[in-house]
Structure 1
Amino acid sequence: MTFDGFPDEGLVFYEGLEADNSKTYWTQHRAVYESCVRGPLQALADELASEFGPAKLFRPYRDVRFSNDKTPYKTHQGAVVEPPGRGAGAWYVQVSADGLRVAGGCWRLESDQVARYRRAVVDDVQGRRLAGEVARLTAAGWEVGGDRLTRTPTGFAVDDGDRAALLRHRSLSVARQFEPAPWLHEREALNRVRTAWRDLVALNSWLADNVGATTKENRRR
């Protein structure tokens, strides 16, 4: 299947799901989800695979076991590329009624990965390399996210504010949101995602080089 954009019906589908997050609505509109959301996203991922690697499309169902929100379906469809052997540093894309979201980095780190991340941040060479890359991405319009402490962790110190802020991170990601626009329904959406993901290569490379894989893989969900 060739990617030709996300049909407007897919965004309308999610508008309806936000208003009526029920099995009845889902069942009645399942064909729209398959043809206008999941199908195009899979086609987009397939076209990007030769450069970034194969993507995993997430299930549309929410895990409500430990949530007060018992609505059964996600109001977006996401896909992630986690290149094997890197351990940290991934690419993400998501479509919803709000448009297209692209992101990268790491969203959850185990304790051994956090320890390596902190040691790299306080290292003058690697820490300044990360701070410079985050500053570049911020200036380019990316929003920095991730789980953060309110204070610098005990036993770590750096001599500049940018790295001090990075030290408080327990995970590090960046994201950009594109509101619905005509290009989203065209092949141009592929170019937008490819360009955005290329902009994250240096950040993901830093994470792969300095954080790597956890030794506690069996604890990941």
Structure 2
Amino acid sequence: MITPPTFAFLRELKANNNRDWFNTHKPRYQTAHKEFKAFANTLQDEVSHHDEIENLKLFRIYRDVRFSKDKSPYKPHFSGGMVRATKWRRGGYYFHLSPGGSFAGGGFWGPNTDDLKRIRTEIAHHAEDMREVLQHPDIQTHFNGLEGDQLKTAPRGFPKDHPAIDLLRYKQFLLTHTFTDEEVMAAGFVQKLSGVFKAMRPFFDYMSEVLTTDENGVPIE
């Protein structure tokens, strides 16, 4: 479980985001991080019941401030991600725990040029398939529709008046679900979070099929 002392530490870190405070309270950080790491390992086990995971990555609490106007040295949250296994299972999971801002996310944060072109080509020819996926009961129940950065106009090579221009403008393809602090610190949260990830499967299955086949539906070796 994620316990109240862990969220108390993160809340106080946000209000005292400096090295002196952090060093003074480092034993609290180490205890909280150990708890988060155990939570993440349990989450990976839970997700492995319904998907194959290649690896689990926990992100460092230390911020890279070299190119940022915000010089706060620490992230006031714990976060991690999981990559789905093999080239046939595309997409990844992300979990972010912070007081007042916890959420689960999944999808395609930064598709490369070839993948983005393949996704857009598929949408241009068969937008109804993507729209059907987004209307799936699991997607409708757990998420607020497709999210991600978008172009302000049509992508190169696609007409501005294309019937699916609302989908073609996306540069990222993401699903997110938020949690209250009470949910995060309740018994059974790790199973609830795993269930949210499982609800992404219709979207992942569709995108995986698109990204592992050519425009004729032939698997890419």
- Does TM-score exceed 0.5, indicating one fold? yes
Kindly report which structure 2 residues correspond to 1:109-188, keeping only aligned pairs within 5 A, or say none.
Answer: 109-124=111-126, 127-136=127-136, 139-143=140-144, 144-156=146-158, 160=163, 163-181=164-182, 183-188=183-188
Residue 217 of structure 1 corresponds to none
The 1:130–1:32 alpha-carbon spacing in structure 2 relative to 1, beyond 3 Å, is farther
TM-score if structure 2 supplies the norm length? 0.81
Give the % identical residues: 22
Aligned positions of 1:173-212 closer than 5 A: 173-181=174-182, 183-211=183-211
Q: Name the residue aligned to 1:74.
A: 75
Q: Report deviation, 1:11.
A: 1.0
**C-alpha contact 1:61 1:73 (8 A) present in aligned 2:** yes
Contact 2:47 2:197 in 1 (8 A): no
Inter-partner Cα distance in structure 1 for 2:86 and 2:37: 28
**Cα contact 2:139–2:199 (8 A) shared by 1:** no
Question: Which portions of structure 1, spanning 4 or more consecutive aligned residues, are displaced by more than 4 angstroms?
Answer: none
Does residue 22 of structure 1 match 2:18? yes
**Structure 2 unaligned regions, length at least 5:** 213-221
2:96 maps to what in 1? 94
Gaps of at least 5 residues in structure 1 are 213-221
| CA distance in 1: counterparts of 2:103 and 2:5, whole angstroms | 18
AA partner of residue 184 (structure 1): V
Aligned length: 203
1:1-12 paired onto structure 2 within 5 Å:
5-12=1-8
Q: Deviations over 1:171-200 (max 9, x none)?
A: 11010111111x422331012111100100
